[in-house]
Structure 1
């Protein structure tokens, strides 16, 4: 016990260091998948691409082939695949809503619901096809 009280600064530094080393791992797990991984899911596993942005955001620019199901309409949406084992790849302009949508869909039984890290912005930066709606 004396060791703990005499060396509390060293122990605090060790705990802080460990927490900082774990932070990127925890953040990456919550952040979603890369655009390359998303394309692999879509092309090889027949994944369904869903943009959970609002209709105006979707019209301003979205990944080609994406279905628009706004986040607020997601729980009772008819545009989701009936087979809950099919990968659902989620996008939104920044990736934040897509992450929440992925968690919501996983709770609803969609085993492979994942968000694209960085959203539509990352999709564009990866030079993947984007289109605008009228």
Structure 2
């Protein structure tokens, strides 16, 4: 399913993988902040979130890394790219 459809239909969970400082300076309303460096230690928490996980960061690079890692752990997720793009889709 396309990212836009998931966001418009409020499906899944938006996970922002930026640092807490980046997240606090602006983020998608309702998103969950789990920094890239904490992902391996928080796998069980991620497995409990409503799937698919829609991953975002500043540009899509870190969320792309996390997407590959989580898919290898059999966690349903997609790289949503920049949090600004997701924010635009959510509120447009």
Task: Decide: shared fold, TM above 0.5.
Answer: yes
Is the CA contact (8 Å cut-off) linking 1:49 and 1:67 kept in structure 2? Answer: yes
| 1:89 positional shift | 0.7
**Alpha-carbon distance between aligned partners in 2 of 1:121 and 1:94, rounded to the nearest angstrom:** 9
Shift of 1:79: 3.6
Tell me the matched-pair count: 89
Structure 1 position 127, deviation (Å): 5.8
What are the Cα deviations for residues 81-112 of structure 1, in whole angstroms up to 9, with x where unaligned? 327x82111011111101111111011110x2
- Pick the aligned partner of 1:57 from 22, 35, 47: 22
Can you give the 5+ residue segments of structure 2 that lack an aligned partner in the other structure? none
The normalised TM-score by structure 2 is 0.80
The structure with more radius of gyration = 1
- Structure 1 residue runs of 4 or more that deviate by more than 6 Å after TM superposition: none
1:120 is matched with 83
TM-score calculated relative to the size of structure 1: 0.57
Gaps of 5+ in 1: 1-32, 130-134
Q: CA RMSD in A?
A: 2.3
User: What is the match of residue 5 of structure 2?
Assistant: 37
**Which runs of structure 2 are paired with 1:1-134 in the superposition (5 Å)?**
34=3, 36-40=4-8, 43=10, 46-77=11-42, 79-82=45-48, 86-110=51-75, 112-117=76-81, 119-124=82-87, 126=88, 128-129=90-91
